[in-house]
Amino acid sequence: MRTTPRSVLVIGTGGREHALAIALSQDPSVTEVHAAPGNPGIAAVATLHDVDPMSAPAVADLAASLGVDLVVVGPEAPLVAGVADAVRERGIAVFGPSRAAARLEGSKAFSKGVMEAAGVPTAGARTCGTAAEVEAALDAFGAPYVVKDDALAAGKGVVVTRDRAEALAHAALCLSREGGRVVVEEFLDGPEVSVFAVCDGTTAYALQPAQDFKRIFDGGRGPNTGGMGSYTPLAWAQDDLADVVLDRVVRPTLAEMGRRGTPFVGCLYVGLALTAAGPRVIEFNVRFGDPDVQPVLAVLASPLGELLLAAAQGRLADVPAPAFRGGAAVSVVLASAGYPESSSKGDVIAGVGDAAACEGVDVVHAGTAVDGDRLVTAGGRVLAVRAVGADVPDARARAYAAADLITFPGLQRRSDIAAEPLGVVEGASVADR
């Protein structure tokens, strides 16, 4: 059995997959990176294959025909669809949970049940199947109201509001779908943090915590998005945050998943609120966060391929815990017109080369396409400008200076990514939403 991968296949199309492909290509043992389907940015560091990431047999066939040592599945949808199972059945190492374990993200009601059984600190919640149950739950928890679609909704299924009518309207929309259920929760008051735990079923290592700016507008205003920017490290957070999360959240969850016969292998993404009563889990995801993981990978000093292969093979305890360079990194997302409600395709992008030429900067592709010899928009989140620096203000200044060089019609970006020293930006108050 190889313990360092020579060739790796990355599944997905977004900025997370580009950042993963870059980090994998920098692992000295990795000589070949493949991606399916990838994007124009990933093409610079990997060989692209036009294979549907949602088709489990097609992904497994590709991995087998390429003879890769490791498959890394980026997004949640293929995981929930069983892509990791299909690859594993061919005897190929895969970083990403089985369909059964991916329910930690695929169903909020399921993940709440696991948290409860494992004693993980989280918001009180009720799963509701009728409008009457929703009304009772809203009254029980009081305002601000938190109403979540039980099913996968790409980060857009959640409404946090003081307006009871708005809460009820969102619940009604979710319930109107076939089999629709909603989860009504207690509001968690405090800054949000993302902690990524690399898990092999029993052992876990945490990466350096990051913070994601989820709302579309400055100051945490406007609707939720997939994430408009991120940074690491969090100088304002407690030093032992990652260890606390491993102890109180990740290890109990791995034990519970193992007890249920569905061990979790992959990235357990713990979305936390740091409340006055301590860290509380807002949500689990079963993959790296995007853009949250981009700056984390920029400061990762350990070889990523070796780490993810060890997790995929259940040998995490045999490799050292991931190490991080000093300094900081910041990613600023450039989104297209209409995002997050819609997105704009085909707008011509200029300045990417100039931005990427800035010191400490790389440009991560999320939703781009090539049209003739032009780079054009092809999604909601188009690019992320990522910079490393001596500290957060330095990385932030570099990221914004480079981002200023990129233009396309309708470009939207926040101007306050990583600006607040305390990070108490979003999630701290809904008064202004």
> Binding residues for ligand GLY, per CB under 6 A?
155, 212, 226-227, 285, 289-290, 292
Count the Cβ atoms, other than its own, within 10 Å of residue 151: 17
Closer by beta carbon to ligand AMP, 146 or else 316:
146
Q: Using an 8 Å Cβ cutoff, are 313 and 88 in contact?
A: no
The residue with its CB nearest to ligand GLY is: 227
Instruction: For 256-296, give the DSSP string.
Output: HHHHTT---EEEEEEEEEEETTEEEEEEEESS--TTTHHHH
Choices 14-22, 50-58, 153-161, 290-298 (CB under 6 A): range interacting with ligand AMP: 153-161
Does position 425 interact with ligand AMP (CB under 6 A)? The reply is no
- Which DSSP symbol is given to 99? T
- Which DSSP symbol is given to 134? H
Sign of CA dihedral 385, 20, 14, 271: negative
Closer by beta carbon to ligand AMP, 283 or else 306:
283
Give how far Cα 429 sits from Cα of 14, 71, 361, 419, Å: 30, 40, 33, 17
Residue 85, binding choice from ligand GLY, ligand AMP, none, Cβ under 5 to 8 Å by partner class: none
Closer by beta carbon to ligand AMP, 148 or else 414:
148
Residue 227, binding choice from ligand GLY, ligand AMP, none, Cβ under 5 to 8 Å by partner class: ligand GLY
**3-state percent breakdown (helix, strand, coil) of the chain, nearest 5:** 30, 30, 40
Closer by beta carbon to ligand GLY, 20 or else 405:
20
The residue assigned the tokens 């819609």 is: 342
Mapping DSSP onto H, E and C, the string for 301-320 reads CCCHHHHHHHHHCCCHHHCC
Does position 188 interact with ligand AMP (CB under 6 A)? The reply is yes
Residue 290, binding choice from ligand GLY, ligand AMP, none, Cβ under 5 to 8 Å by partner class: ligand GLY
Q: Which of 103, 112, 126, 148 binds ligand AMP (CB under 6 A)?
A: 148
Residue 74, binding choice from ligand AMP, ligand GLY, none, Cβ under 5 to 8 Å by partner class: none
- Length of the chain counted residue by residue: 433
Q: Which residues does 119 contact at the CB level (< 8 Å), separation at least 6?
A: 252
Closer by beta carbon to ligand AMP, 96 or else 155:
155
Question: Hey, which residues between 107 and 146 contact ligand AMP (CB under 6 A)?
Answer: 123, 146
- Least separation in angstroms between residue 227's CB and ligand GLY is 3
Closer by beta carbon to ligand GLY, 102 or else 175:
102
**Contacts with ligand AMP, residue ranges (CB under 6 A):** 123, 146, 148, 155, 158, 160, 185-188, 192, 214, 224, 271, 282-283, 426-427
